[in-house]
Amino acid sequence: MWKNYGMTFIKYVYLKRFRNNDEHINIKGKEILNSIIVNNKPVIFISGHFANFELMSMELTKQDIKLATIYRPLNNYFLNPYMEYLRKKYVCKNQIKKGISGIRETVQYLNKGYSIALMVDQRLGEGKKLNFFNHEAYTTTLPAQIALKHKLDIVPIYINRNEKNKFELEIIQPIKTSNMENSEKNKIDISLNINKIIEKMILRDPSQWIWTHNRWK
C-alpha cells in the first residue's frame, strides 16, 4: 500500500502529461459513459482511493462528461492550495469543498446538468454505522440521499495500476434509483450496497487501496 501511495504522489508531476494524452490508460465500460452523455442526465459517480485516484475524474472529463467533484481539503494548510490548483487545472475544474455549503453547491451543479463524483471509502467521524467488511463503520449516505431525491443513477468506477505502470479504468453498471421511494430504508439499503461494491474493489488488489487511516474507528 505504501509503495502505491508513493507512486501516486510522484505521479502528480505527470498530471499535465496525463491530461494531454491517453497512452497511460485503458477504459472499460465506455458504452455506459456514452449512454450518460446521450441521456443528458446527471449521475452520481462513486469510488475509493485506488491506484492514482485523481485520474478517475480527469478521464471522465476527457470523455466529455460534465462533472463536478466533492473533495475534502488536505490537513496540511501549506500543501492544500497547491493540490487544489493542480486538481482544478488538470483533473476537474469544478471542485466542491465538503460540508454544508458544498451540499448546496452540489445541488446547483446538478440543476445545471453536471454529474457529481465523490469518494466513499474513507473514515468519517459521523454518518450511519453500516457494515463494512463485517464490522460497523461510519458511512456516508450522501450518494444515496442525492440519488433518491433527484432520481439519479449511481455509477461506481474503479481504477487499478498494472505491472507495466499503466492504468485501467472500469465503469461499472449503475445502481438505478428512478423507481425507488425516497425513504430512510432505501437510503440505508443503497449505502450498504455501495459498501459491498467498495469491498469488492478492495479485494481485487488490497495493495492498491490507499488505506492510511482506521476505517472502523
- Residue 135's DSSP bridge partners are 132
Whole-number pLDDT of residue 75: 67
CA-wise closest residue to 48 among 160, 149, 130, 150: 160
pTM, to two decimals: 0.93
Whole-number pLDDT of residue 74: 67
Query: What is the grid cell recorded at 200?
Result: 469488492
Task: Quote the Cα angle for 32-189-139, to 5°.
Answer: 90
Whole-number pLDDT of residue 73: 67
Phi-psi bin for 60: left (phi > 0), alpha (psi -120 to 50), beta?
Answer: alpha
Whole-number pLDDT of residue 11: 79
Extents of the domains making up the chain: 2-204
11 in Cβ contact with 90 (< 8 Å): no
Task: Average pLDDT across each block of 10 residues of the chain; the chain has 217 residues. List them in order.
Answer: 84 88 94 94 96 94 95 71 86 89 91 96 85 95 96 97 91 95 97 97 94 83
Whole-number pLDDT of residue 100: 79
